[in-house]
Amino acid sequence: MSDSLDRLINIFRNNAELAIRVKHLIYKYVDKLRREGYSKIKIMNFCGTHEWTTVHYGIRSLLPDEVELVAGPGCPVCITPSKYIEEVIRLAFEGVKVYVFGDAYKLPSVHKVGRASCLADAKSMGADIEVVYSFLDAIEDFKVKKGEALFVGIGFETTAPSYAMPIYTGLVPDGLYLLSILRLTPPAADYALSAAIEKGLEPVSAIVAPGHVSTIIGAEPWDRVSRKFGIPTVVSGFEPADLLISVAMLLKMIYEKRIGVEIEYRRIVNYNGNTEALKYMYNVFLKDEAAWRGIGFIPNSGLRLKEEYNRYDAVGRFGVEEPTKETWVDDLHPQCKCAEVVLGLKKPTDCLLFMKACTPERPMGPCMVSLEGTCSVWARFGGGGRADEIAKSLGLGE
């Protein structure tokens, strides 16, 4: 490991002294805000990795009662409509080779196709489905294969350029098609922030914007979201100290009555984003209204291939039936609360199936599948207070 990387990890992960100093700063600002009449400060994140850091490192347990960290729509697997998975299973059974990322392999569909309700089932029944790490890996693998194949293109802005670049530069071999289920985070953030207001719930007071996504899109789109809702935003990194610093920055901005965006993750993110990656992305894709699982259609929240790249489009080639507004039905198990969990309106523990019928080994809803799904994170690391319960039963803590 290089010296500079070592130093960074020490600063951001193993620096207990820094964490304690930032914690004191957080308490200082909450004290000031309390005196100004604030009783609740709800901070929403929009990235599954932020929720992972929050739960894995017990960040919530370090914060004053007034500060509530809430998970928003931050996991692309969780919001991929069931209809796409059903269509891909159908095609796999018809003989089309399928490439997919590992975290979507067990994503459950609402309706069974054949007897399969996820791609893992279909593979166990003989379908040709291969888990890969990237679109480029699929390209390499497919070069020595015959026939036709489809890549399940799930992801947010972080992943979109990795599809766009090979398509734009002609690296994709004939016979390999992309099923674009790409989604954009700022429109979903807008939707989630509006949902809390519309439902008369405690409105969100501040945003922790996703570091990975912002590496591509920059901080500018968050500035717009921030100003629309009149709340501050900080683009945060993913180490525990990054998150604590971001919370402190947000509290300071609230106290100073400042809106707009600030960047904590300066070692990677800038205001305008990665212009080269954005160029590839918007040369190949265009924005469109798109369906989000359990939620429905959000304007300008999806990316579909432009007409000039139709020859790579799995929708046209295989007649993939996409969800439409007219045919849209709620695509969750009737008791699954993923839609509310994704919008930050409910916690995983509010779902009656959490860690009973629905577990990481046997997921019943999409938020329990990916390592970044909120239910999965809470189930594996005790976000529902299970770690506290166990500690108490061992005579540790209060």
Q: Residues in the site for ligand SF4, rule: CB under 6 A?
A: 333, 336-338, 341, 348, 351, 353-354, 358, 364-365, 367-368, 375
CB 329, min distance to ligand SF4, A: 17
Q: Is the Cβ of residue 43 or residue 75 nearer to ligand SF4 in the bound state?
A: 75
Phi/psi at 112 (5° precision): -75, 145
CB 281, min distance to ligand SF4, A: 30
Strands 176-183 and 149-155, how do they pair? Answer: parallel
Q: Is the Cβ of residue 77 or residue 305 nearer to ligand SF4 in the bound state?
A: 77
Q: Is the Cβ of residue 218 or residue 383 nearer to ligand SF4 in the bound state?
A: 383
Strands 285-292 and 296-305, how do they pair? Answer: antiparallel
Alpha carbon distance 81, 144 (integer Å):
31
Nearest of 88, 73, 230 to residue 156 by alpha carbon? 73
Structure tokens at 370: 């990916």
Q: Is the Cβ of residue 77 or residue 96 nearer to ligand SF4 in the bound state?
A: 77
Alpha carbon distance 229, 210 (integer Å):
17
Strand partners, 99: 130, 151
Q: DSSP per residue over 308-343, as a string? A: GGGGGBHHHHHT-----TTT----S-TT--HHHHHT
Side by side, which strands form the sheet with 41-45? 67-71, 41-45, 206-209, 232-235, 260-263
CB 154, min distance to ligand SF4, A: 17
| Residue number closest to ligand SF4, CB atom | 365
Structure tokens at 192: 């989630």
Q: Is the Cβ of residue 246 or residue 374 nearer to ligand SF4 in the bound state?
A: 374
Q: Is the Cβ of residue 320 or residue 336 nearer to ligand SF4 in the bound state?
A: 336
CB 46, min distance to ligand SF4, A: 18
Phi/psi at 210 (5° precision): -70, 125
SS3 204: coil
In single-letter form, the type of residue at position 3 comes to D
CB 374, min distance to ligand SF4, A: 7
Q: Is the Cβ of residue 189 or residue 368 nearer to ligand SF4 in the bound state?
A: 368
CB 102, min distance to ligand SF4, A: 18
CB 378, min distance to ligand SF4, A: 8
